[in-house]
Structure 1
Amino acid sequence: MTSASFKLIRQQHQKLSQQLHHHSYRYHTLDQPEITDSEYDQLLKKLLDIEAQHPELITPDSPSQRVGSTPLSGFSPAKHVTPMLSLENAFNGSDLRDFDTRVKRFLSRTEDLQYLCEPKLDGVAVALTYQQGKLIRGATRGNGLTGEDITQNVRTIGAIPLQLQNDYPEQLEVRGEIYMELEAFRKLNLQRREEGEATFANPRNLTAGSLRQLDPKLTASRTLTISCYGIGAISGEMPATHQQLLEALSHWGFKVNLSIIQTADNIEAVIDRYAELQAIRETLPYEIDGMVIKVNSIALQQELGEKSRTPRWAIAAKFPARQEQTVLESVRLQVGRTGAVTPVANLRPVNVSGVTVSSASLHNWDEISRLDVRIGDTIVVERAGDVIPDIVRVVLEKRSGNETLISEPSHCPSCGSKLIRELDEVVPRCQNLDCPARLKESLKHFCSREAMDIEGLGDRQIDQLLRLKLVNSIADLYRLRREDLFQFERMGDKLADKLLKAIAASKQRPLENFIFALGIRHVGKHLAKLIVHHFDSLEKLAATTTEELLALHEIGPQVSASIVHFFNAETNQKLLQDLQELGVNPHKEERISGDRFQGKTFVFTGSLERFSRKEGTALVEAQGGRVSGSVSKKTDYVVAGAEAGSKLTKAEQLGIQILSEDDFLQLIEQDIEK
């Protein structure tokens, strides 16, 4: 692969990551998605495909490493006993056969496996906790580790038992999908139309909004139900198969979709069932968007374990996205913080599977040329693929001859500067560092939580700063005065003081956050951390050479050239000097470091009291070790807290060294002393 090709791939990866982070927040935290689940899944698949071919691009902040987003403050946080993982996606029989091959390879077996095939309901995942048969907590998935406590709301749902029946276990956490059936959804929308109220776009949005009402009476007025599909934790013995697990849940009083769930004795039978379920999709009383396939044996599930965000023993086979025709009415140009100018199609609004679509990604002018798409064309738009829907093709038979070609711009739509398109790039770029559009995106990035974390400076506030011409560069943020802020809409004394305090506090952010905040091309959070590990100060980094950077693991020619170019640019040197004079003093965090655990793998299990999993992971990684979510023959240590379950049992069977929390801390202290 040429360096130019790899550069393009890296750029695609960075763009996908930014888009996924944005839409994860809109979907999981605000319940206000801008795109459909199908579009998000396809976007994530693109990212995972890139990372599978180029694992060097995987960073700790990649959407692939994470599940979801953080909960809102309107509800109390609810920590899950075990993580609520998401699933990898398949889109056809070939993807399912690849999944079967991966599972067999991991298990070192060639014989067929039995799978369980379940409809994938389009609802909201929840965890229900029971003690002595009584419901004590209901929680949303949240970020997979911590959700929101919605106990009072789930108590209003008739399908959720408040008291279990029939020899139930003493401790139990059940996972399920809360949803609304189509008939109830249609009736509610009809009622709202008659009362002059806004209707809901789809049952999933209605369900999410209902569960997050602060008044449980409103939740009770919505006809919600549930289908349970798994167990997060249980006291006592697990059933031998997942099918038996579902039967046990039904036996204890839970609603389980047993009538439509089937086993398949091999992957070809799974593919047949996928086709059958897709064929009857429209006849079901609820919405489904695919089929979940699970290895039926619980013992094999435990042996397979999980990756950072997904289990190895399950996959979601998604149904094809639906398509509609509409007209491309105009094209608007967007300018990013690196100056990249990209085209977006404005469409005649069209309803695609319950969602009104009014724009679609055109990606770049190479893609426009490939599609031969023009303003005025009738096009096929698909709700799958990118941050906004994709244009699949032009309906050429409807072309009248009055359509207009979409020309690549020669000047920036924001500042009017001449655009330059490098030979190895697919988009032109604005080279003006003072471009208002570039400055806006740079300010948003600089103030973001992962960067300088200036709370209170969001999109709306940054728009006002630019409109009022209070900032012309990032450094101007630190020149803002109290009287400047009073020019904002709805700005009072307390809010102004809080914002100035947040700006002042950001002056002492860690060096790795500051480097990330600068927006150096190709330098994300992971590389910023790696760079800080090698360089003691910003001054040393600014004086580095391409050769010194290339000597670092994970840094290639594109990244090294980008870093050197950034610090050699006079405008950036002036910016850094201004920030220093204004008191911005990023520091390298002092961490215990070493390589004593180099090549060693730790697994944390059970309820930890002396430290959190995050803290334990940091201690291990500081000594060169790694932390895994599952126990295997390659595991060196298992750190077991209270109520440790199957991971501890498996570690004992494999003869892996087991450490208590105290043992682990003593091991760390021994290393510190050395």
Structure 2
Amino acid sequence: MINKLRQQIQYHNYRYYVLNKPEITDYQYDQLVIKLEHLEKNIHYLNKQTSPTQYVGDILLNNNKKIKHKVPMLSLNNTFKVKHFYKNFFAPLLPLNIMKEKNFFCCELKFDGMAINLLYKNGILIHGITRGNGYFGDNITNNILCIKDIPKRLQGNNIPKIIEIRGEIFISKQNFNFLNKQYLMINKQFANTRSAVVGLLRLHNKNKYLKLLNFFCYGVGYIENFLNKSHIELLYILKSYGIPVAQYIHTYKNFQDIIKFYRFFKRNRYKLPYHIDGIVIKINNLYIQQKLGNSTKAPKWAIAYKFPSQEQNSILKKVYFKVGRTGIITPIAFFETIKILGVNISYATLYNINEIFRLDLRIGDTIVVQRCGDVIPKIIHVIKINRTNSNTSPINIPVLCPSCNSKLYKNINNILYCSAGYKCKAQFINYIKHFISTEAMNINYIGTKLIEKLVNNNLIFSAIDLFQLNKKKLLKINIGEQNIKKILLSLYNFKEISFSKFLFALGIKDIGITTANNIAKHFQTLEIFLSSNVADLLKISGIGKKTANNILFFIKDKNNIDYIKMLTKKINIIYNKNNNIYNNFFYQKNVVITGTFFIIQRSKLIDKLKLLNANIFNYISSNIDYLIVGTNPGKKIIQAKNNQISILYEKNIIKILSL
């Protein structure tokens, strides 16, 4: 049994570290290792020297020169449960009577990337080395030179002649999403942030995407003159050398504070700009670290307390193809219901047909589903070892539109789409949903079901028809009289909209909210915008040739111009012609809004703030200038006070904005 378990772990090490194609989740792998460690501990006569519990496994990059670490670069012991953390790490320290210092423990975030050892001599970067087997790592110096966070030369005073700086190379969520959009062009995507980091660092040239990577330092290996400092003081010294150090590092004395730190980031990790999979707890005193020492695999003075698994296995049952607003066909995968972090999940988007090919997905496959950012479910890979010809079947890619039966086409990126435009009911329904959405026209009491009824019963053929609805038409689709009154009153009261929202509501390809805001600021009026050319559009931040051509194609179409003219007869566009915009109270201020408002409608308040060039955020951070508070504000007001952020109430806003 033990030999079989060892073989299993070695096989999964190879899949994870060498191929970067794991077949099981991190949690499942850790459970195998924990099980083996338990068996080896209780059967003392077993030879453990060659066991995977006795050595460090890490990424091996083919054909790279191996370099020896001056001090072994070990991995961390893991725990997933509070009782195991107490039993395996905290409790063994109690008899030693060493926890007298106020800030005995140091807590950090555990990044989901790749560990790296940076060797500096006389302040000059000599090598960048992966962890490897803990003693020898791969030389990836040429690639890490492209990472802007890693300094080529240390700055400041009293820099040791020789120092090994250790940390994690990672990729932010924003850069990860950007990378996957770019890699779609070559029919390839990365399953998660860790695989993206490894995939980029495996490249043997200075690939342009390497600049998307980041680095945080978490400690040192060898240092010429031992610094009689605490771990957190050492990090501050390294920061003074120009080495990036993560923001959220705290010292604590007692067990309860460590657990609070863990639970806070377990709840709030999705708000961070990068992925983390747990926290790391270290003894803060460097002398005690040395005294406790290491096992063959991990230090005895640190442990990783990991978050519960965000991945589960399931069986793919079917794939449904959905038609979007712009005609792109999106596959939706339905699988046997699983529960991740207390939430039942039974389907996930596959983005486009390229994802089916990338995953080599088949109906009946055992799949690994990840709940990204605690919200969005995603299929990250297939466990092909479970696949047989009898229990799986290929996914049939449609040749006709599932909505209108028009012939489907593929663009240059192999993305499937329907070219029927708004003659396709699915595309038209999605456009109307976009048109009435909060970010666009913000029309109340018209939901998805009502839109589908209106379109399928041929009661509307364009967005203009919404404003021509009446009681007689709505009675045809069995709507109650009270609801009819609300719908018609909402449409009747809809009189005006900001220029940026109007632009967004038009549904021009590649025009999101930010781009619509930038266009509105640049052109100021609809007439100037409609008379623009490619050169004018390329002057706007965020607009490239492709987007400029899409805009031009739209505004040069006579049917679209007629449509815009009819809309402007129904709706008054608000332009921001205030020459003193740069002197207003909210100009370029970072604002968060919370609570319920009575006099001001929240959407109108947001529109007004955007017109004044304010930046609206959903969460509190040290960069926020103002928190605007209504009734029942929740935790944000406490967070704002803790961060000494100015708080404005509804009465203040009415006065400032002259409402």
TM-score (norm 2): 0.49
TM-score (norm 1): 0.48
Report which of the two structures shows the higher radius of gyration computed on alpha carbons: 2
